[in-house]
A and B are shown apart, each in its own frame.
Chain A
Amino acid sequence: MSAVLHGTRCPACGRVATPPEPYGCEQCGALVGTLEPVELPAAGVVHATATVHRHHRPEPATPFTVVEVVLDDGPALKGVLVAGSDPVAIGDRVRGELQDGRLMLEKVS
């Protein structure tokens, strides 16, 4: 399991965004047309985790674990640990893929 996330990089200031920035650079205001498409491997290091016990929708079923990951290419994102993954802790390496628009992460052993 591994995937590539689509994003944009600002040539003026270097800011990387994913999903692709649709309006203008959040750091320097560069016009959207100047932003360069980039592909970011969905892999990085766990910044924090939280096991969710109460959720306002039936899906995903509780408990599930939200993982904040800092991608190797910069941006910090939040995704959900796949069922069956080994537990993860801060500092662990994870990789992920998109399923129905959601970043599903698993521990890299």
Chain B
Amino acid sequence: MGRNPLADRPVHVVGIGLHRYQPASPTPFVELGLTAVRGALADSGLRWPDVEAAFVGSALLGMAPGRVMLSRLGATGLAIQQVENASASGSTAVALAALEVASGRSDVVLAVGVDKAEGWRIAPNSAGLGNYEAGTVVPFTHFALLAEDYRQRYGTTAEQVARVAVKNHANGARNPYAQRQKVRSLPEVLADPISGSMTRLQCCPVGEGAAAVILASDEALARFGIDPRRAPRILSSVTRSEAAYPPGTPIDATLTAHTTKLAFDDAGVAPTDLDVIEVHDAFSIEELLYLEAMGFCGPGEAGPLIEQGAFDIGGRCAVSPSGGLLAMGHPLGPTGVGQVAEVTRQLRGEAGDRQQPNARLGLTHMVGIGAVCVVHVLAAST
């Protein structure tokens, strides 16, 4: 990889907005998306005509959702680009928006994720590549297999893995934008098996919603009089895809390790410096796998650490304080943008009763079918 463009021209998050994640409803995607964008504009103090370019992340809406949605804020003629990158669509929209600012082409750029859980078309399924599964292995079984392998390797208990969901449901209960807003006990989380040790509440809900962030340059902060204390900086943005790993390699964790390493190097920070992490916890086991892959703790250490409360709000590092994919939800396009919104809220010190004390450094992480991985490192303004 070449030089980090975000090191040359700083990029800040100056506005965040969301539409609550929710089960499928008749609400048109335009309504979902506009709610989030209007929220982000109000939060930033900017006006819509100040926005020079928009990147729209969605995986299921089909062709051309961006202009029809954004034109109802007033059709200014700004640049609009559609971004599809599976579960990482929203994260990739943020990555491209950050590059747009870092390149100097624009000073104020919108990244918005919006989606509705309908009309699934997954290209790898029609790629002409066979397997011997005949439809028996869906994502929850993929991760149930990883969970059994992990637990056997390190002696981690099913209860320790389930603690991820207990924590994230408790966080989601304090997030008005979360799809699941209910505190759940360990016995509740352990009930209702789906596949292996993965139970219903250890699998994320896929619904609909929207999330928006507005990114801006130093020049824009000065020009529009934006309070720098409310404008955390994106230190690094890295996207990678699965390489040809040896058979039996845990793909998602290995890809995560490679991607986060590059993002930490670009940002000049170490994993143990992090105060807040929004991780791709579509299934509870993933949070443990990825915290270890990121180097936040050693192999097999995440289970005991979560039991000790190290990843709670107020613990060593708050992991998925939004509720994560498990409780806030995973409406695909919005998810990665919503992670950046949550970390921004935390780094501003505006997260209310789910605030991680003294949060200075944060990370967002998404994995998408492919597999692809997108990681951002953000820092509070000094």
A interface residue numbers (CB < 8 A to B): 5, 15, 19, 22-23, 26-28, 47-57, 60, 64, 66, 68, 70, 74-80, 90, 98, 100-103
**Cα–Cα distance between A58 and B140 once the two chains are bound (Å):** 17
Minimal Cβ-Cβ distance residue in A for B199: A53
For B135, the closest partner residue in chain A by CB is: A57
Given the complex of chains A and B, what is the CA–CA distance between A98 and B133 in angstroms? 10
- Complex CA distance for A55 and B137, rounded to whole angstroms: 9
- List chain B residues, Cβ under 8 A from A57: 135
Known: A19-B131, A98-B132; 12 extra A-B contacts, CB below 8 A, are: A22-B129, A47-B149, A49-B148, A49-B196, A50-B195, A51-B195, A54-B195, A64-B136, A66-B144, A75-B247, A77-B131, A102-B132
Q: A47-B248, A48-B146, A90-B152 are in contact. Are A101 and B134 (CB under 8 A)?
A: yes
B247 touches A70 (CB 8 A): yes
CB distance from B45 to the nearest CB of A (A): 47
Q: Using Cβ atoms and an 8 Å threshold, which residues of chain A touch B135?
A: 57
Q: A66-B137, A74-B247, A78-B137 are in contact. Are A103 and B148 (CB under 8 A)?
A: no
Does B68 have its Cβ within 8 Å of any Cβ on chain A? no
20 CB contacts below 8 A, A to B, read A19-B129, A19-B130, A19-B131, A19-B132, A27-B244, A47-B145, A48-B146, A52-B136, A52-B195, A53-B193, A53-B195, A66-B136, A66-B145, A75-B247, A79-B133, A90-B148, A100-B134, A102-B132, A102-B133, A103-B132
Alpha-carbon gap, A25 to B128, bound state (A): 14
Residues in B whose Cβ lies below 8 Å from that of A55: 136
**Interface of chain B residues 234 through 254 with chain A (CB within 8 A):** 244, 247-248
Q: Is B42 an interface residue (CB 8 A)?
A: no
Among B134, B147, B247, point to the contact of A102 (Cβ < 8 A): B134
The answer to whether A52 and B149 touch (CB under 8 A), given A19-B130, A77-B132, A102-B132, is no
